[in-house]
Amino acid sequence: MDNVESAKKAAAIKAIDNHVKDTHRVGIGSGSTVIYAVERLAERVHKEGLRVTCVPTSFQARQLIVTHDLILSDLETTPQLDVAIDGADEADAELTLIKGGGGCQLQEKIVAAAAKLFVVIADYRKDSTVLGDQWTKGIPIEVVPMAYRPVQMKIESELGGKAVLRQAKAKAGPVVTDNGNFVLDWVFDKTYNWQKVNQQIMMIPGVVETGLFVGMAKIAYFGMEDGSVKEREV
């Protein structure tokens, strides 16, 4: 296992060990780091006999829960969660996050908002002082397909930068999210008040959700190159 994967695993294990207890209702995020979190959660459930209910943020997360023989639920049955554990594409000094590199930002934000505590797990490459230091692919913005062009133009005229329609890799045409929408990746070119920018983008008709998570994460675990885990709390 290389340094990055070891770092992801270390962060995931620490978060699961510190924040998941018996009878907890847990939001399970998406992405490569979460795989290690689910593995650790399954290990603890089967060894310690924990009764844990899991709510996924994506089809991928749902598959992880089912594959590891964990109790699967949804927000209709389990609308309040004790903790949500998810990765991030980047986190700044205030734990403002960019998420949605995998296209699951809408469901990830809904699940995170339903939790009493939102915990981020990531490797050292995602740890920044200012958004954009490490992550250069932009902020994902989920849009209704018919609105993508007007939204694209509005973002570029009001905020600058470039809003690019994300294209699929294994098929022709744009990426389609689990909710049947498109994703614009807004590559910004300066520092903003992210709370204001998030609200401004959300007011554009056709925007479903942004990959800006402002004031939501309370603690983050970053796996480091040397095997240690760095904690940041706000």
Fill in the amino acid letter for 161: G
State the alpha helices, DSSP H only, in the chain.
3-19, 32-48, 59-67, 105-113, 148-159, 194-202
Positive or negative: CA dihedral 223, 224, 227, 233? negative
Which residues carry out catalysis?
108
Task: Give the integer Cα–Cα distance in Å for 222 and 195.
Answer: 24
Give yes or no for a contact between 127 and 135, defined as CB atoms under 8 angstroms apart. Answer: no
Question: Judging by beta carbons within 10 Å of its beta carbon (0-12, 13-18, 19+), is residue 191 exposed, middle or buried?
Answer: exposed
Give yes or no for a contact between 230 and 127, defined as CB atoms under 8 angstroms apart. Answer: yes
